[in-house]
Amino acid sequence: MSQPLVWIGSFGPDGGAERVIAAFDLLCTFDDPLAELVMAGPAPDPANLAALRRYRDELKLFRLRFHVDPSPAERAGLRALGPAWPEEQ
């Protein structure tokens, strides 16, 4: 099994999470159906987070997990899981 991809950002309306989910769908469809993605970050808008979860479910992305409001220690642990995007500078 390969390492999961890790995205750390905001689940807010302008955080870009929807585009990441769409790109992950393409990856799973055309390249690696066993790919895994962990998305982590704050959820300032619960309705938007619910919409992202519905989008994931509609696309049947069973290997996509959301980790909402991780602590700094949890973020460090998530970064250790696999390749992270965006990279911290």
6: exposed, middle or buried (Cβ count in 10 Å: 0-12, 13-18, 19+): buried
Q: Tell me the CA distances in angstroms from 6 to 11, 47, 66, 82, one per residue in order.
A: 14, 23, 10, 6
User: What digits encode the pLDDT tens for the residues 7-59?
Assistant: 999 999 999 999 999 999 999 999 999 999 999 999 999 999 999 999 999 99
User: What digits encode the pLDDT tens for the residues 59-68?
Assistant: 999 999 999 9
Tokens representing 62? 């069973």
